[in-house]
Amino acid sequence: MVMKKNPSTGRKKTATTKIQTKSHLQVTFSKRRSGIFNKASELCTLCGVEVAMIVFSPGNKVFSFGHPKVETILDRFLSAPGSKKHQLLEAHRSIYNIHELNVHLTEILNQVEAEKKHGDLLEEMRRLNQREHWWEAPIRELGLHELEQLRASMEELKKNIIAVILNGGGKVDDEFLESKAAAFIIPNGHNLLY
Amino acid sequence: MVMKKNPSTGRKKTATTKIQTKSHLQVTFSKRRSGIFNKASELCTLCGVEVAMIVFSPGNKVFSFGHPKVETILDRFLSAPGSKKHQLLEAHRSIYNIHELNVHLTEILNQVEAEKKHGDLLEEMRRLNQREHWWEAPIRELGLHELEQLRASMEELKKNIIAVILNGGGKVDDEFLESKAAAFIIPNGHNLLY
DNA sequence: TGTCCTATCATTAGGCG
DNA sequence: ACGCCTAATGATAGGAC
């Protein structure tokens, strides 16, 4: 026998419009949300399918359900072929592009470094040559003095070249030159670069 | 009065395990899926919240529901602070990083180009100088003939320098030199570079 | 797969703690 | 916010189209 303890209780019809009473809305939201999540879970176990669900509450909190995992489903969904969904996945791929770009950039930067060193070396030669403006005057007019200056410049240039190559730009004295004499053949200034 | 047209019809209890009959499973999936989507839609209108849902069917098809849009919700969800969810958003941001990197790369490449041109110029000077090995022999021993050779080399070097600077590497004849004489002071070989 | 139908079953509105 | 209770409403299994 059924006892009607409280005739006023029980389910009532619900409107299809937004609930206005804030507290009422909160309660309804909680109940229905858990209900839907349960139904989603049932769908998973009953049909063996994958489901993801994301809900933002009226209080702007995030509720999510996912089987097996929300992220997994989202990955599958975003990687599915079609329209704008691809762009996030593309972005994901671009991480690797960035890595490649960085590697490329490093290579390029090394190249720049090398080119700069090379350029500096040659620039120094040119500067040393031009410092005395020896080539601006017709060569046939060079006197012994000028030639002597030129020779001295060349000696300095050689030392500087050695400094750049062996020493990274440090000072080069005769002792240092002697210590490296075995590696670079510099008997009387010949065969320094070749 | 209610007529019972078919007493065998009507709802029956359902197990909580996976449905084995494939066709049965398909039907149940369809019905329940649309049911859940309806409930989600109701939740949206009733509580004014945002909902996204993704379901993979037994036949591996994708069904999705979202209010206002699936992508919108996913964006909000992925940008929500917390754990791994960030990584996709980070990836999204990295698109802009890639753009910046590309700009940077272009700058660097231009720099490399400039350095290379500079280097080539100086390299050419060096090669022209060394071609005759004029500086390997003690300068004081240079004869008139060698000096003449040196002078000729310098002339060629100057032309090549002008070619690189003005012409991008093309050939330089006297006519061309004359056409550029106003810009570069080359009365008798003086003040070419400075 | 979707829709309509019907007879159930499951959900949940409303109230209370 | 959560759980329990009750009763009415809503959802859906099963069948047929």
pLDDT at B62 over 70: yes
In the structure encoding, which two tokens stand for residue A78, read together? 């975003």
Please say whether the beta carbons of A122 and A140 come within 8 A: no
Q: Which nucleotides of D are covered by protein (CB under 7 A)?
A: 1-2, 5-15
Strand C contacted by B25 CB (< 7 A): no
What's the pLDDT band for B50 if we cut at 50, 70, 90?
very high
Query: How close is the nearest chain B Cα to the Cα of A140, in Å?
Result: 7
What's the pLDDT band for B95 if we cut at 50, 70, 90?
very low
What's the pLDDT band for B37 if we cut at 50, 70, 90?
very high
pLDDT at B36 over 70: yes
- Alpha-carbon gap, residue B91 to A86, rounded angstroms: 13
pLDDT of residue A64: 92
pLDDT of residue B14: 82
Helices A70-79 and B70-79: crossing angle in degrees, nearest 10, is 130
Q: Give the contacts of A26 (CB within 8 A, at least 6 positions apart).
A: A58, A59
Q: Cβ-count burial of A21 within 10 angstroms (0-12 exposed, 13-18 middle, 19+ buried)?
A: exposed
In the structure encoding, which two tokens stand for residue B129, read together? 């100088």
Find chain B residues with C-beta within 8 A of A29's C-beta. Answer: 43, 46-47, 49
Please say whether the beta carbons of A147 and B144 come within 8 A: no
- Alpha-carbon gap, residue B149 to B166, rounded angstroms: 26
Please say whether the beta carbons of A169 and A163 come within 8 A: yes
Give residue-wise pLDDT tens across range A34-86: 999 999 999 999 999 999 999 999 988 999 999 888 888 887 887 665 544 45
What's the pLDDT band for A127 if we cut at 50, 70, 90?
low
A144 or A9: which leads in pLDDT? A9
Contact B49 A40 (CB under 8 A): no
pLDDT at B148 over 80: no
Give residue-wise pLDDT tens across range B101-128: 566 667 766 776 777 776 676 666 555 5
In the structure encoding, which two tokens stand for residue B165, read together? 């600077």
